[in-house]
Structure 1
Amino acid sequence: MPVLRVDDPTDDQLADYRDLTDVALRRVLEPAGGLYIAESTKVITRALAAGHRPRSVLVQEKWLDDVRDLAGDAPIFVVDDAVAEELTGYAVHRGALAAMHRPDPLPMAEVLADARLVLILEDIVDHTNVGAAFRAAAGLGADAVLISPRCADPLYRRSVRVSMGTVFQVPWTRMPAWRDARGILTDAGVHVAALALTDDAVSLDDFAAHRPDRVALLMGAEGDGLTRRALESADSVVTIPMAGGVDSLNVAAAAAVALWALRP
């Protein structure tokens, strides 16, 4: 576990941590580089518990003792506050950052193998909503999460932070296009229930009263909602009864309500 003090924010050793606030850049850079960024000792600890490995840790001097036992054989780069802010693009105050090796994606069929309650996120591009949905999935008993090809990355720094590290405890994977994903869901015996406002939707209360043994809740992006192909792939369309002239909830809140109603 080498401890290296670095004073130059342009040092190539720190490349993994550069421009963390540039979402468009990180969305391409991190998966292509086989890494993701874990922020705070709590999140790093949860990532390690899930079997993920750090390739380096970035920390300010005052937090060094907190991360010595977390880094394993990976180098620890120690920087001052000014270098950390210039490097990352924001004031780092959560103790530590770790560049983690991104695990290999799991096959969709494997993720579904023993799952009775699944959450599917289609094309949700807001990382905060993705993280909040994962937190709901973990806290309310979902066995797995599937995300569409265009959904935001659950391992993006903000998603991980909002999820409080629960992205590491719920099995998940990115599913293929619907023409292939629908067949895998059918083979696994999973009933797909899309949450949407349609004329033929049944209420969540009625659906929960006759809950299929294995069910996947399909949630779409705020604004656009579910795609036509997603709705065509669903076995049922379900809506949450609302009051007060409100027709819908934030996607993460809706996921939490529906997961609670359908918990095994």
Structure 2
Amino acid sequence: MARLIPVTDPTDPRLADYTRLRDVNLRKSLEAEHGLFVAEGEKVIRRAVTTGYPVRSLLMARRWVEPLADVLGDAPVYVADDDVVEGITGFAVHRGALASMERLPLPSVAAVLAGARPAGDVPEDDTDRARPRRILVLEDLVDHGNVGAIFRCAAALGVEAVILSPRCADPLYRRSVKVSMGAVFAIPYARMTDWHDGLADLRAAGFTLLALTPDQSAVPLQKAPMGERVALLLGTEGDGLSSRWLREADHPVCIPMSAGAMDLGVDSLNVVAATAIACHELMRPL
């Protein structure tokens, strides 16, 4: 039975999990210290709960209590007027409901490459585990919205896992979760502990490494060798992949631009658009 707790004071210490949600530095510190993340909106909250993340508490306008009644459980549900919620979070929460969720231990890169599942998605036995054949590897993407959008592309197009370099943005940061529409809960992912030699584990696991670059002299992606296991490397929003990762890749690949693109001052796609096109090509039948 849900515990509904009316709140009227934005400074109530029980609501500390939801403080200043747009303050990136504060949220990084607070969420790391308490092992939490925030899910926003009915659909995302449902997906987080269904995937197995424990609920610490919820904060919502009263109109959301009934639609979410079946997932509220025993966690405290703080009910407040919209202006109080805005005073706590620092912005108008149009989706009306927030949940503070407990983070679960992140699997190692080796575990994900061996077929580790997302939280809550546990196969009946090891025979059900399938090693991923197509994965994305993100190097130093720091924009949370872009990371969330890439997870959504991966989930929509069938990519089976995502590996992050040490400096990549947090997929469970509120904006990442929101933009992904909960896809961050469905796609197994892991974070490298060593950027310098981080690609060695992928190659040892049998992956062909394709480095996506805007350089039009690279192999067109649709003509690139596609082995049994392929890892597509994606670089930062501005500079792209580092020279080290480009050198270590088996093949640099590009998405061919139209003949008139340069005349229009367009020499590349943004990382999310490029990811969507690349994932579609990556998942074509062998």
TM bucket (normalised to shorter chain) is over 0.9
Whole-angstrom distance in 2 between the partners of 1:139 and 1:257: 12
Q: Given residue 235 of structure 2, which amino acid in structure 1 is its aligned partner?
A: G
- Deviation of residue 200 (structure 1)? 6.0
User: 5+ unaligned residues in a row in structure 1: which ranges?
Assistant: none
- Give 2:230's match in structure 1, choosing from 183, 205, 215: 215
Q: Given residue 251 of structure 1, which amino acid in structure 2 is its aligned partner?
A: V
- Deviation of residue 23 (structure 1)? 1.4
Of the structure 1 ranges 147-156 and 222-231, higher mean CA displacement relative to structure 2 is found in 222-231
Aligned residues: 262
Deviations 1:194-236, CA, capped at 9 Å, x for gaps: 11144862111210xx311101111011212112232233221
Aligned to 1:53: 54
Whole-angstrom distance in 1 between the partners of 2:50 and 2:32: 21
Q: Given residue 254 of structure 1, which amino acid in structure 2 is its aligned partner?
A: A
Contact residue 200 and residue 237 of structure 1 kept, 8 A:
no
Aligned to 2:167: 150
Contact residue 125 and residue 152 of structure 1 kept, 8 A:
yes
Q: Given residue 205 of structure 2, which amino acid in structure 1 is its aligned partner?
A: A
Contact residue 36 and residue 99 of structure 1 kept, 8 A:
yes
- Please tell me whether residue 132 in structure 1 is matched to residue 143 in structure 2: no
SS of structure 1 residue aligned to 2:211: strand
Aligned to 2:30: 29
Contact residue 31 and residue 102 of structure 1 kept, 8 A:
no
- Please tell me whether residue 248 in structure 1 is matched to residue 268 in structure 2: yes
Whole-angstrom distance in 1 between the partners of 2:144 and 2:253: 25
- Give 1:225's match in structure 2, choosing from 236, 240, 245: 240
Spell out structure 1 runs of 4+ moving beyond 6 A. none
User: 5+ unaligned residues in a row in structure 2: which ranges?
Assistant: 115-130
Contact residue 9 and residue 83 of structure 1 kept, 8 A:
yes
Deviations 1:32-69, CA, capped at 9 Å, x for gaps: 32000000110011111111111000011111112232
- Identity rate, percent: 53
SS of structure 2 residue aligned to 1:242: coil
Q: Given residue 223 of structure 2, which amino acid in structure 1 is its aligned partner?
A: D
Q: Given residue 257 of structure 1, which amino acid in structure 2 is its aligned partner?
A: I
Whole-angstrom distance in 2 between the partners of 1:71 and 1:176: 36
Whole-angstrom distance in 2 between the partners of 1:9 and 1:258: 45
Output the TM-score relative to the length of structure 1. 0.95
